[in-house]
Amino acid sequence: AQTVTQSQPEMSVQEAETVTLSCTYDTSENNYYLFWYKQPPSRQMILVIRQEAYKQQNATENRFSVNFQKAAKSFSLKISDSQLGDTAMYFCAFMSYSGGSNYKLTFGKGTLLTVNP
């Protein structure tokens, strides 16, 4: 079974600064995706960024980027130029897409990020 570990329960950052959220995972699968989801106070789950394991290039979406280290099974999220609206719970998630995987998402316990003005 896959496991996802987020070792930082809470973090805070000043507005306009950069912050990195950590995530490690454990799997024996070769074919998988990794995701970061954001859950603001409204509790709506929002996809922030995704990474395909077979791609060496790190994914980037505007101010959000990842550092994907496949051998180390590490998948960190960097938020640049932090904004007040980035305040949310952030979840790292793993999905195997091997045959018969049923595409279940396994989540970490989350990191509560607070952006201070």
Q: Site residues (CB under 8 A) for another protein? A: 33, 35, 37, 43-45, 47, 50, 52, 89, 91, 93, 95, 97, 102-110
- Burial (Cβ within 10 Å: 0-12, 13-18, ≥19) of residue 65: middle
Minimum CB separation of residue 16 from another protein in Å reads 27
Asked whether the beta carbons of 103 and 95 are under 8 A apart, the reply is yes
Minimum CB separation of residue 42 from another protein in Å reads 8
Minimum CB separation of residue 97 from another protein in Å reads 5
CA torsion sign, 26 to 52 to 91 to 71? positive
* Residue 60 vs 109, nearer CB to another protein: 109
Angle at 72 between CA 88 and CA 10, to 5 degrees: 20
Asked whether the beta carbons of 19 and 36 are under 8 A apart, the reply is no
* Residue 64 vs 107, nearer CB to another protein: 107
* Residue 14 vs 98, nearer CB to another protein: 98
